[in-house]
Amino acid sequence: MSMEELKQDDQIISKLKQTCSDLNNLLQLSFNVETSLSEIEDKFNVMQENLSIASRRIAPLQSLSIANKALDTKINRAISPALSLLESFKLSESLQRKLLELSSKLANEKSFNKRMEKLIKYVDMVDDLNEAISSISRECEPAIQKLQEVVEFLSRTKATDQFRTHRLKETLITLKALCETEVDAMRFDGLLDDALLNLQDEYESLLNKMRHRNFFEAKSDRDDDDDHDDVVAAADTVSTDLGSELEVEVLTRISETLAANDCLDICIDIFVKVRYKRAAKALMRLNPEYLKTYSLEEIDEMEWACLETAISLWIQHFELAIKNVFVSEKKLCCQVLGTIMDGVIWPECFVKIADKIMAVFFRFGEGVARSKKEPQKLFKLLDMFESLEKLKPEFSEIFAGEAGADICSRFRELEKLLVHSSTKVFFELGLQIEANQDVLPPQDGSVPKLVRYAINYLKYLLTDAYSATMIRVLRTEQIWKAGVLSTPETDENLLKDAMFNIVDAIRRNVESKKLRYKDKVLPHVFVMNTYWYIYMRTRSTELGKLIGDQYMKKTYKIVAEESAYSYQKQAWSPLVRMLDKEELKRVDKDGLTAMIRGKMDAFTKGFDDITQRHKSFYHIPDADLREQMREATMKLVVPAYTEFLNNFASSLHVKSYPSPEYIEDTLNQMFEVVDHHKSSGKSSLRPRQMRDPSDGSKSLSGEQSRRSKDFRRSKTSAIDT
């Protein structure tokens, strides 16, 4: 074995020895640890025994601690509501102090807008105070109940000393007394009540300042006096807002606050009372004194001019009330009260404001409709009906809903009354004309006032202003009588039948009256004047077109011409026949001169008599007709007289008898015609021969003569009253 190998073996042996020594040390160390662990175990056993003994000794204290914690929790739960209640009391006191301060600032504020802003803050603070008091009211009962439970528990369990239990009992009694007295006092007798009363005053004052203004003038400040509180009398104005956005906001907030504090009835009463007065006052500025007259007896006793003016004012004021006053009032009512009770209240409030005012208007309208059915009232009744028809859409919108049902119903009833009254007045016109037959005709043969009135009445009724309304009224009346399912007549036939009945009543009236003349000439003058007037006044008018031109010519024109011929035959033909020369042929020369002079004397006397009768009794008011009668009479009388005078001049003392020029001038004067030929050297009047209408040729006013303007239509077209 080499040295090297030996060295290696020695090293290995050395390492093994070292390892053996380390193992011995480790074993010794393990033994020592085991010994220590055994000692520790003995100590732990001793400690566990000591802890068991300690645990058994402190167990009663642990139960007592748990009981104390439970009692503490129970007491805290009872006191917490009371503490919260105290905080609410503190908040209420703080709000009351701030409310007093703000109330003082509000009273001293002069600027309107700043005052409105402060008033909104005041309302907010009143709402906060109300909420604080409501919170106190809600918290009182739970706090008392919790304290009651704790006091009863402690009294029953003796869980604490008597001193503490006694203090809790005193606290309970004090809290009960406070809730029973102070809370109600805070709500109903304290500063909140004063604040609500103050808000009611502010509410009324602000509502009273919202006035209906004159729309043609610039708005004045809200602080202006009542002298500037005007409304326009014209009915074509538009509504306007009664208050600014800020004012409306303040009123709305106050309304909500009053409603939230059980003052809704008071709020509504104030609103309705004030706005009714303002609306009524606005309309009273128009001086509607006529509205005080509404009974049938009072209206029947009114002079027609006064009643006519009153009806015209009623139409204007009624339209103004609807389009302006009530539109504005409804808008304000909706703005201010619309948020209360989901918008259920405000329509009834608006109707309460409008009801009394509308009742006054309805009362007058109904009185007029029920009054005497005099002919002149028809046009005003139609005006009233037409105004209601135009207002119906707006009226229905303004008073829509259940609240306005009664007012809408009365509106419809007034329309029905006006329809019935208008048709009755119209149809009774014919009956009144029929009943007028016993009245004596004009003693001068002129056109009766009744005929003038009736013709112009019908012409005026057929103008654009009234024809459509009259047709609507007649149709409505027809539908009501015959039923909705009936076959209605056309508008033209409906109006034509009604007009024809009245025109025919006029004809029968004239035919009856002409028989009452004792004079032979006057009936012909009367019929000629009257029928010619009727024809000329209806020709080329809506009335003439409606009745029919052929009918008017046949019934009135031709009869007027026949009467004119009869007038000539009765009045002048006998005078001309006195100058007949046939009788002279049968007389000898000795008696000829006497007969000639007798004829001239009779003619002169007859001429004077008939001219005098014309001046006194026979009157032809129509200038064109009078001119034609003059021409016809001139052609009939003057040539015959001139020829007779010239033929027998040798047998007469010509200077003893009227000259032809005198006869002509007398006829001109009799027919009230200026003699132009004296100044111009020739006459501007063309003579025309009078013909018998039975010969079939054109007579008094034929178409040819009408075209040549021999007959000129009268310019008068207005209704004769």
Residue 419 to residues 297, 422, 423, 482, 497, Cα–Cα distance (Å): 21, 5, 6, 15, 18
Q: Angle formed by the axes of helices 623-647 and 589-616, to 10°?
A: 160
pLDDT (0 to 100) of residue 279:
92
Which pairs from 27-32 meet CB under 8 Å and 24+ separation? none
Q: What is the pLDDT of residue 305?
A: 92
Q: Which residues of the chain have pLDDT under 70?
A: 1, 54-86, 135-169, 171-172, 174-189, 214-239, 482-491, 585-590, 650, 654-655, 673-721
CA nearest to 620, candidates 521, 516, 520? 521
CB 288 within 8 A of CB 361: no
**Res 215: pLDDT:** 41
Return the number of other C-beta atoms located less than 10 Å from residue 400's C-beta. 12
Block residue for tokens 């003439």: 544
Cα dihedral across residues 87, 93, 99, 101: positive or negative: negative
| Phi, psi angles (nearest 5°) of residue 684 | -90, 0
Specify whether the CB–CB gap between 591 and 663 falls below 8 A: no
Q: State phi, psi for 621 to the nearest 5 degrees.
A: -75, -25
Cα→Cα distances 50→38, 40, 126, 215, Å = 19, 15, 71, 105
DSSP 269-323: HHHHHHHHHHHHHHHHTT--GGGG--SHHHHHHS-HHHHHHHHHHHHHHHHHIII
Q: Is the dihedral of CA 156, 159, 163, 169 positive or negative?
A: negative
pTM over 0.85? The answer is: no
Q: Using CA atoms, how far apart are residues 479 and 481, in angstroms rounded to an integer? A: 5
Neighbours of 501 (CB within 10 A): 15
Beta-carbon contacts of 622 under 8 Å, excluding residues fewer than 6 positions away, are: 529, 532, 533, 536, 714
Contact assessment for residue 599 and residue 582, using Cβ atoms and an 8 Å cutoff: no
CA distances from 566 to 563, 573, 613, 670 (A): 5, 10, 17, 19
CB contact at 8 A, 657 and 642: no
DSSP percent split of the chain into helix, strand, coil, nearest 5: 80, 0, 20
Report which of 550, 520, 553, 519 is spatially closest to residue 536, judged by C-alpha positions. Answer: 553
Give me the helices (H) in 579-622, please: 582-585, 589-616
- Going by the DSSP 8-state scheme, the letter that residue 687 receives in this structure is P
The two tokens of residue 110 are: 């002069």
pLDDT of residue 470: 92
Query: Residue 494 has what pLDDT?
Result: 82
Give, as one character, the DSSP assignment of residue 238.
Answer: -
Q: What's the one-letter identity of residue 35?
A: T
How would DSSP label each residue in 381-418? HHHHHHHHHHHHHHHHHHT-SSTTHHHHHHHHHHHHHH
Q: Strand, coil or helix: what is 448?
A: coil
Structure tokens at 402: 């259940």
Angle subtended by helix axes 264-284 and 327-337, to nearest 10: 160
CA dihedral 307, 308, 312, 317 (to 10 degrees): 0
> What was the pLDDT predicted at 381?
95
Token readout for 648 is 């027998």
**Which of 264, 76, 294, 268 has its CA nearest to residue 168?**
76
Is residue 327 within 8 Å of 398, Cβ to Cβ? yes
